[in-house]
């Protein structure tokens, strides 16, 4: 049996290569599409990565234009209106929301630059920017809830301006002592800033009342209730903007929406298409050997012996095709990972959030090939059987 199978590879290399190529194409399509879908879904999650939030809620203001800024100093972001303390409490009371963290974003315009400042309550360290401070502190310390005149600086900004704990930095017209350096390891825009100060200090910087905020991070108990929770929020608060993974998908375009909802279907279609090509090749392999099969039966071979021979040959072909397909799919996935990812600034999703001073959500896709995907591909390839074709011989 082994000798016969080897002889067929030697005497019919073109047909063997065709079968292996068809199976490899199907496997490669399955692996690459599955990896692409996973990478795009991960890109859609990036803006909220690191803050453990399901929603980021802001309130847009009508009629403000970015070109209206002509004075230096701190101000609320363009297109941003703060929530009152009562409104923040009403967010906490919405059924389905389990935790809320309120922060205040401020833009500070200087002579040659502008800075992004976040007023944070460091005690809210399980959600929002407080979580970033808690998990990302790389040197120094955090500030207390009402501590004035101190700041924690983003690591990249600190490196750019050679800042370290103990230095003094000017924010607006006031000097602040740097007490810590923080690294937002997720690289997302939500919760990112150049400087973090206490929430009470931020409120005094722009002359707002205690308890106000222009960003509210919220976490749900059940992600399936997303639409109803957003509906309740809009019913209570009126015109608001809510950023979630789904809203980012809408901004990033139809490709992401399709891959999020139908990536598995697309992958399976690729797999079935490739296996279909492989089956055509297998059918041709068996059809062109009808005379040979007839000779086998004439000299006493039983049909089950013929089937066993062809099953062994096709198993080897399918296994080789699956392995080559995984290698090809992995190579395609690596190439895809170096392509620019669909870019989106969260300013497109939520008016008033900083753009220029913050990093992009992502510039490359994170594409990985899991062991499960590869094993499933080989298993599907090895299931090809020539039974029906042989019955017609």
Whether the predicted pLDDT of 358 surpasses 50: no
Q: Give the pLDDT of residue 256.
A: 54
Cβ–Cβ < 8 Å for 215, 105: yes
For residues 44-68, give the mean pLDDT: 70
Q: What is the pLDDT of residues 214-260, one digit of tens each?
A: 999 999 988 788 889 999 999 999 989 888 777 665 655 555 555 55
Compute the distance between CA of residue 40 and CA of residue 22 in angstroms, rounded to an integer: 27
Whether the predicted pLDDT of 50 surpasses 90: no
Whether the predicted pLDDT of 387 surpasses 50: no
Question: 299 or 76: whose pLDDT is higher?
Answer: 76
DSSP letter at 58? Answer: E
Cβ–Cβ < 8 Å for 251, 348: yes
Compute the distance between CA of residue 39 and CA of residue 119 in angstroms, rounded to an integer: 33
Q: Give the pLDDT of residue 151.
A: 97
Cβ–Cβ < 8 Å for 108, 114: yes
Q: What is the pLDDT of residues 323-336, one digit of tens each?
A: 887 888 778 777 76
DSSP letter at 364? Answer: B
What's the mean per-residue pLDDT of the chain?
76
Beta strands in the chain (DSSP E): 55-58, 73-75, 97-109, 114-120, 137-140, 150-154, 168-171, 174-182, 195-198, 215-220, 241-243
Nearest to 133 by CA among 152, 149, 117: 152
Compute the distance between CA of residue 338 and CA of residue 354 in angstroms, rounded to an integer: 27
Cβ–Cβ < 8 Å for 380, 273: no
**Is residue 318 very low, low, confident or very high in pLDDT (cuts 50, 70, 90)?**
confident
Distances (CA, A) of 200 to 118, 150, 175: 11, 12, 16
Whether the predicted pLDDT of 172 surpasses 90: no
Whether the predicted pLDDT of 145 surpasses 80: yes
Task: Name the burial class of residue 211, with classes exposed (0-12), middle (13-18) and buried (19+) by CB atoms within 10 angstroms of its CB.
Answer: middle
For residues 120-125, give the mean pLDDT: 91
Distances (CA, A) of 277 to 11, 21, 344, 392: 22, 9, 38, 20
């Amino acid at each position: 049996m082994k000798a016969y199978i080897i002889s067929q590879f030697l005497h019919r290399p073109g047909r063997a290569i065709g079968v292996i190529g068809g199976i490899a194409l199907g496997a490669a399509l399955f692996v690459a599409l599955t990896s692409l879908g996973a990478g795009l879904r991960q890109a859609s999650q990036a803006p909220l990565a690191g803050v453990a939030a399901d929603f980021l809620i802001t309130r847009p203001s009508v009629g403000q234009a970015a070109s209206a800024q002509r004075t230096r100093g701190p101000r609320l972001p363009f297109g941003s209106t703060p929530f009152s303390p009562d409104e923040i409490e009403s967010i906490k009371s919405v059924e389905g929301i389990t935790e809320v963290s309120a922060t205040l974003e401020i833009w500070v315009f200087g002579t040659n630059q502008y800075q992004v400042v976040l007023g944070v309550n460091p005690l809210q360290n399980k959600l929002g920017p407080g979580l970033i401070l808690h998990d990302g502190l790389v040197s120094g310390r955090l500030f207390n809830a009402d501590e004035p005149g101190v700041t924690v600086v983003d690591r990249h900004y600190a490196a750019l301006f050679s800042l370290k704990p103990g230095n003094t930095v000017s924010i607006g017209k006031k000097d602040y002592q740097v007490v810590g350096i923080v690294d937002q390891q997720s690289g997302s825009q939500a919760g990112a800033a150049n400087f973090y100060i206490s929430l009470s200090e931020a409120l005094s910087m722009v002359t707002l009342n205690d308890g106000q905020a222009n960003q509210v991070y919220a976490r749900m108990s059940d992600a399936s209730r997303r639409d109803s929770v957003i509906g309740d929020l809009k019913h209570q608060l009126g015109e608001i903007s809510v950023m979630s993974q789904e809203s980012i998908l809408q901004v990033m375009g139809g490709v992401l929406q399709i891959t999020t909802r139908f990536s598995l279907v697309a992958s399976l279609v690729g797999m079935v298409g490739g296996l279909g090509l492989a089956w055509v090749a297998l059918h041709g392999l068996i059809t062109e050997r009808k005379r040979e099969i007839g000779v086998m039966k004439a000299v006493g071979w039983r049909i089950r012996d013929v089937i066993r021979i062809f099953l062994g040959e096709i198993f080897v072909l399918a296994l080789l095709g699956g392995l080559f397909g995984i290698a090809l799919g992995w190579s395609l996935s690596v190439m895809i990972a170096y392509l620019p990812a669909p870019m989106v600034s969260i300013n497109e999703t939520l008016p008033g959030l900083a753009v220029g001073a913050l990093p992009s959500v992502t510039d490359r896709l994170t594409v990985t090939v899991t062991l499960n995907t590869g094993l499933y591909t080989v298993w599907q390839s090895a299931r090809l059987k020539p039974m029906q074709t042989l019955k017609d011989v």
